[in-house]
Amino acid sequence: MKRILITGGAGFIGSHLCSFLYEKGFDIICIDNLITGTKDNIAHILEEKNFEFIQHDVTKYIDIGGKLDYVLHFASPSSPIDYAKFPIQTLKVGSIGTHNALGVAKAKEAKFLLASTSEVYGDPTVHPQPESYWGNVNNIGPRGVYDESKRFAEAITMAYHNTHGLDVKIARIFNTYGPKMRKSDGRAIPTFIEQAINNKPLTVFGDGSQTRSFCYISDMIGGLYKLMNSDMNSPVNIGNPDELTIIGLTEKIIKLTGSKSKIEFKKLPVDDPRTRRPDISLAIKKLGWRATVGLEDGLKKSIEGFKGNEGR
């Protein structure tokens, strides 16, 4: 049985990954300090024989007994609300936390997968964004704490690969959504769904012409699993390239929820990206992966999850 350490395993993507890999027959160790995650996300497997939860801050020394085959590093606040609230913790988990996770992987001779982000591209001047694009990031802006923590995490991950020969994978994760997202997450889809369900105004920042691409959680997990088992060591974009405006997204959510909500416009935040769309040519070529869940189907499942209190 393969044994996997997942940091940030009680978060949104991390908990789905825990569930998926547990069902695949892996022995799972989940670490999370619960500042943005919750044990509710893993409650269905929390008491299972081959699943262990450890409440721990990965910026502190990580001590795991026995062998490990994989270390999957997903620990980090990941929404603008979270990293505005926890800027120092965000920087520390991307730097010290990644260093500690890499140290475990090196000591155990385990494969290492870093959950990086499309935010390494900042407010892109190249569209769509390929892995070869170096980005347009304001390192001292309000989003810089997250952007630069992940850019550093990628740099140290590649340094471990080049210096120590560690088998590493780097997933540049684009906007992902689905059940188990927090209602207070602050990102577009959970915010709009929660507002629409309660017939509150949908708050759109700017004029709503900015574009995003949204990947349903099951597609994301499938892409991560393929990357985890690949021979790729350089970064790979994982996301859905279907692009739409924020206004277009609000219209879809209002229609699908049958909401009476109106749209309320607010000032665009500093450094908010105007466009965001992955070039997934590398994922298609090297992983044989592409997203298959359409936005409407994914939104329906997400709305059902929120109504069933799978969001919090």
Q: Which amino acid is at 253?
A: I
Of the residues 146, 160, 177, 216, which is catalytic? 146
Give residue for tokens 């919750």.
Answer: 38
Distance CA 143, CA 24 (A): 36
177 is catalytic: no
The three-class DSSP label of residue 138 is: coil
- The three-state secondary structure class of 262 is coil
Q: Which of 280, 269, 252 is nearest to 189 (CA)?
A: 252
DSSP 234-256: SEEEES---EEEHHHHHHHHHHH
242: Cβ contacts below 8 Å, ≥ 6 apart: 213, 214, 291, 294, 295
Active site residues: 146
